[in-house]
Amino acid sequence: MASAPLVDSRGLSSPVDGDWNPEDVSFPEQFAWGAATAAYQIEGGWDADGKGPSVWDTFTHQGGDRVFKNQTGDVACGSYTLWEEDLKCIKQLGLTHYRFSLSWSRLLPDGTTGFINQKGNCSFKIESCAALIQGVDYYDKVIDSLLANGVTPVVTLYHFDLPQCFEDQGGWRSDTTVKAFDSYAQFCFKTFGDRVKFWITINEPYVVAEFGYEKGIMAPGVKEPGVGAYLSAHNLIRAHATAWHSYDTLFRAKQAGFVSIALNSDWAEPLNPADPADQAAAKRHVAFCLDWFATPIFLDGDYPAIMKSQVSVMSKRQGCPASRLPEFTEEEKMMIKGTADFFSLNYYTTRRIKHQDNTHSQPSVTADKEAEQVTDPSWPVAAGSSWLAVVPWGLRRLLKYIKDTYNHPLIYITENGFSLSDPAPLDDTQRWEYFRLTLQEILKAIYIDRVQLKGYFVWSLLDNFEWTAGYSSRFGLFHVDFNHSALPRVPYKSATEYARVIANNGLTASHG
Ligand code: PNW
């Protein structure tokens, strides 16, 4: 069977029939135009006003060259004290939506709601009470000023910064964290849910599990290959579903908001499109990243069949008494199924995948998957991130896959971006070209593939602390001068161009 060509002659766009031109059409009315950030990456003030430590405070303070030049988020963009500067950037872009995350241990320094929240009713350590009040004040200020400026807040409860006290009890490998997350989520719904209507419980559980508890390259730096990622992912799913139910039963009727979980995924193409083994491997690559979380949450409460069989076979071969992939009870499956009110997708890149027999004696998620990534030399790579091959048409294919696999959900792209490397020029013409091609693919997804895509958020509003790459990798629409104590924000050319797209609700001025 002849399949449609993947890309046009330039290699970055997907072709369309006839003379349909994405530059000629508007985005749908009410399309959400956003940018995203995360607390640890921008706030700084790591111990201000009694904030408790998170795993990223611990990880960066331990040094050991796990982060570029042993940099930390202690100061970052200073957003904890410079919120008004961030707001100016948001207004300059004309965003309709702003996605940011709450720092759990800024709001609840010991992670728990053990001391409750009114001033003067503090049964806990005094400095913790101060943190709670000032943490709530800070996020109240952010939320209220967004709303006053007509910008809809989209709030992530958890973006990688687990309170350290929970890590000390096993972190996401422990049921304690699942229960604590639900209390924290309820606290946030109760405190901010009168004004916040879009919630994301957890950002990228895949990244937390795989990089935090298997490879150990991100906080908390746990290296338990073949076990840690599956166990932590299991609890991240349970935590998400539990919090969704809390919203559903305790808050939805009154607050009428929407709750989801942000899932990141690569798109995958077989290295040899004619080879059935590579085709199957490409499917497994997506199964072991997106479907791992999306199948239980959006479909049937359970892991994808291919994941269950792969991990079971590999575990047996390695002499494990049972599969290293945990099982949900029937009750848990019922509880997990259907716990998302929209599909929140973070997309960065596409991979070519070839089948790779597992010959390793050492268990790992990568080995279980029997799929190896191969770099396609024809794809450009974002200057600031070696992992980020720029493949705009991959996003269109991934959106179509989500539509077809997950019952045509409402989708928001809650992160997408391209890094520059430090030092970065303000004239980032090349990067804007990547954004423009991506927006064209989005229009094709909406109007040709009929994907219900409701919004797009650039990662990120500001240059910020890019995890292990520190400040060397710049994803911002606004440049931040980290060597200057005022941390000035200056727009890149991409910011100006993005503002124009938002104002026109389309790629050219004819849509104004
Ligand atoms: C996302 N990968 O993480 C995060 O949500 C952001 O906090 C982060 O700054 C952004 O992407 C850019 O990296 C990812 O290796 C980290 O494939 C790593 C990967 C993907 C996403």
pTM: 0.96
Nearest CA to ligand 1 atom 12: 466
Q: Is residue 387 a contact partner of residue 467, using CB atoms and an 8 Å limit?
A: no
Q: Considering only CA atoms, which residue is closest to atom 13 of ligand 1?
A: 466
Is the distance from CB of 212 to CB of 56 less than 8 angstroms? no
**DSSP characters for 390-419?**
--HHHHHHHHHHHHHHTTS--EEEEE---P
Q: Which atom of ligand 1 is nearest to the CA of 38?
A: 7
Domains of the chain: 29-511 (3.20.20.80)
CA torsion sign for 352, 355, 359, 361 is positive
Atom of ligand 1 minimally distant from the CA of 262: 5
What residues flank ligand 1, with Cβ below 6 Å?
Answer: 38, 41, 203-204, 207, 264, 346, 348, 387, 415, 459, 466, 475
DSSP string, 219-270: TT----TTTHHHHHHHHHHHHHHHHHHHIIIIIHHHH--EEEEEEE--EEEE
**Cβ atoms < 10 Å from Cβ of 51:** 27
Q: How remote is the CA of residue 56 from the centroid of ligand 1, in Å?
A: 15
In ligand 1, the atom with minimum distance to the C-alpha of 469 is 13
Tokens in use for 322?
């049972």
Residue located nearest, by CA, to atom 14 of ligand 1: 207
Distance 417 CA to ligand 1 centre (A): 10
Atom of ligand 1 nearest to the CA of 203: 5
Q: Which helix or strand (DSSP H or E) is residue 285 part of?
A: helix 276-286
Ranges of residues in the chain with a pLDDT under 50 are 1-2, 116-119, 512
Q: Which pLDDT score, from 0 to 100, does residue 2 have?
A: 46
Beta bridge partners of 435: none
Question: How far is Cα 351 from Cα 270, in angstroms, rounded to an integer?
Answer: 8
Catalytic residue among 332, 415, 441, 497: 415
Q: What is the DSSP string of 324-373?
A: SS----HHHHHHHTT--SSEEEE---EEEEEE-----SS--HHHHHTEEE
Residue 204 is among the residues annotated as catalytic for this protein: yes
- Class of residue 509 by CB neighbours under 10 A (exposed 0-12, middle 13-18, buried 19+): exposed
Site to probe by mutation for ligand 1, drawn from 202, 346, 413 as the one with most ligand atoms within 8 Å of Cβ, is: 346
- The closest alpha carbon to 456, from 505, 491, 493, belongs to 505
Distance from Cα 141 to the centre of ligand 1, integer Å: 27
Decide the pairing of beta strands 32-36 and 453-459. Answer: parallel
How many other CB atoms are found less than 10 A from the CB of residue 512? 10
Where does residue 504 rank: exposed (0-12), middle (13-18), buried (19+ CB within 10 A)? middle
Q: Nearest 5°: CA angle at 256, between 252 and 257?
A: 95
Which H helix or E strand runs over 87?
helix 83-93
Q: And the tokens for 270?
A: 């077989």
Catalytic-role residue among 43, 85, 167, 204: 204
Closest to 344 in 3D by CA, of 454, 459, 498: 454
Taking Cα atoms as reference points, which of 367, 430, 442 lies closest to residue 400? 442
Burial class (CB in 10 A: 0-12, 13-18, 19+), 510: exposed
- By most ligand atoms within 8 Å of CB, the mutation choice from 37, 264, 347 for ligand 1 is 264
Distance from the alpha carbon of residue 257 to the mean position of ligand 1, in angstroms: 26
The verdict on whether 415 is a catalytic residue reads yes
Q: Is 474 helix (H, G, I), strand (E, B) or coil?
A: strand
The residue whose CA has the least distance to atom 16 of ligand 1 is 207
Rounded distance from Cα 32 to ligand 1 centre (Å):
21
- 210-265 tens-digit pLDDT: 999 999 999 999 999 999 999 999 999 999 999 999 999 999 999 999 999 999 99
Nearest CA residue ID for atom 3, ligand 1: 207
Packing angle between helix 126-148 and helix 175-192, nearest 10 degrees? 50
Segment 409-467, tens digit of pLDDT: 999 999 999 999 999 999 999 999 999 999 999 999 999 999 999 999 999 999 999 99
Cα 444 to Cα 391: distance, rounded to the nearest angstrom: 15
Question: Which amino acid residue places its CA nearest to atom 7 of ligand 1?
Answer: 38
Residue 4: DSSP 8-state = P
pLDDT at residue 127, rounded to an integer: 61
* Inter-residue contact 337 to 404 (CB < 8 Å): no
Q: Is the peptide bond before 220 cis (omega within 30 degrees of 0)?
A: yes
For residue 240, the CA-to-ligand 1 centroid distance in Å is 19
Question: Measuring from atom 2 of ligand 1, which residue has the nearest CA?
Answer: 387
393: CA distance to ligand 1 center in Å? Answer: 19
| Neighbour count for residue 325 (Cβ, 10 Å) | 24
Pocket test for ligand 1, best of 415, 419, 468 (most atoms within 8 A of CB): 415
How far does residue 276's CA lie from ligand 1's centre (Å)?
Answer: 30
Per the CB < 8 A criterion, the answer to whether 86 and 139 are in contact is no
Task: Give how far the C-alpha of residue 350 lies from the chain's centroid of Cα atoms, to the nearest Å.
Answer: 16
**Closest atom of ligand 1 relative to the 475 alpha carbon:** 12
